[in-house]
A = this chain, B = another copy of it.
């Protein structure tokens, strides 16, 4: 390692192994993260609120023995500002909740803290994890959106400010910013993690999300959240035998660059002897986009009932979504729930040998501008089906801007998905 600046670029497990090997100190890693934040935050804007370097180090040093004996050693965590924290405000990106101080940590935060992680700060979320952007810019190109809604968590990881961050996904809120910024973003199967203390948007769709720079880091964090035995050794990557490709056309338009990235990935898979099956879905996957919107509209206006009473404080897109939910027929909502369940069963019976699905994570690179967070439809079908998904970075356009590919796993087979993703990431890099 050359200097402190490089330390912050390591992945979480790499950092932990470096500590185990006495290759550096925890303080040096913390300092490296803060150096990066100080250098970049005025441009990137990943943080809603954060501890100062002095506060963080004082807290670490006051509990040094505990942290040194812990799994995560006192390394810094970013927490999306839709997830409650006892020591910091949780304002959900909305003027309605300015100054809101929760009484306790969300369970996901508490578990990572108990494992020795320290909340460095709250990362920027769009308004209630829906469309209205916060201040964050894309670290790969500051003129572009970072994507949303977990904008700050994705940017903080991609820009090497922290080695781990929490997010959430109801439509595309993990996969899209991960794809745009160039981070690993993982969405658990529906029901996989405790959502206690994560402010809900739509109960049939909400999933916890994790951001990191390597798949092994996701595997470690997942084990912590599930209270399973943990390891900081790189997990073995597993090559899938059969991958099903869902081209962008199954969902909607994709750019030439994204088409090329998908084709390149297919060629790479085939070069490794992986069987590649092309999904011929007709409108079946595309239809899931509207079913997802129906479910979301119905549930959001009920979960955010109190906020809907303050309509003048809501953005236009959120107010419109709520209006849709309040005026739609219940039968439309119930039918959409049913259709998504049917589609999940159909998808995995399409070709029984398929172990994982490959699809574009977004229609293109991140769009220019900061007034919106990009199109979410490439994620809606999988989220409606409740499946585990991971964005695997590696592909880039001709200007070096990230193009995200997502792998989609079977329901509750998250561990298998991550093993394939670990192998696939190595293949792309």
A interface residues (Cβ-Cβ under 8 A, vs B): 100-105, 107, 110-111, 114, 191, 193-196, 199-200, 203-204, 225-228, 299, 301-303, 305-306, 309, 326, 330, 334, 337, 412
Contact = CB atoms under 8 A, between A and B. Distances in A.
A104 B196 contact: no
Chain copies in complex: 2
A205 to B, nearest CB: 10
B227 A196 contact: no
B103 A305 contact: no
A412 B196 contact: no
Given A100-B103, A103-B101, A303 B191 contact: no
Nearest to A110: B306
A110 B305 contact: yes
A227 B306 contact: no
Contacts of A306: 104-105, 107, 110, 114
Secondary structure class of chain A's binding surface, majority of residues: loop
A193 B302 CA distance: 8
Contact of A199 (B111, B196, B309): B196
Contact of A194 (B102, B114, B194, B305): B305
A227 B105 contact: no
Given A103-B101, A110-B305, A326-B227, A200 B204 contact: no
Nearest to A334: B412
B194 A302 contact: yes
A114 B305 contact: yes
Contacts of A204: 191
Contact of A200 (B194, B225, B228): B194
Contacts of A226: 302, 330
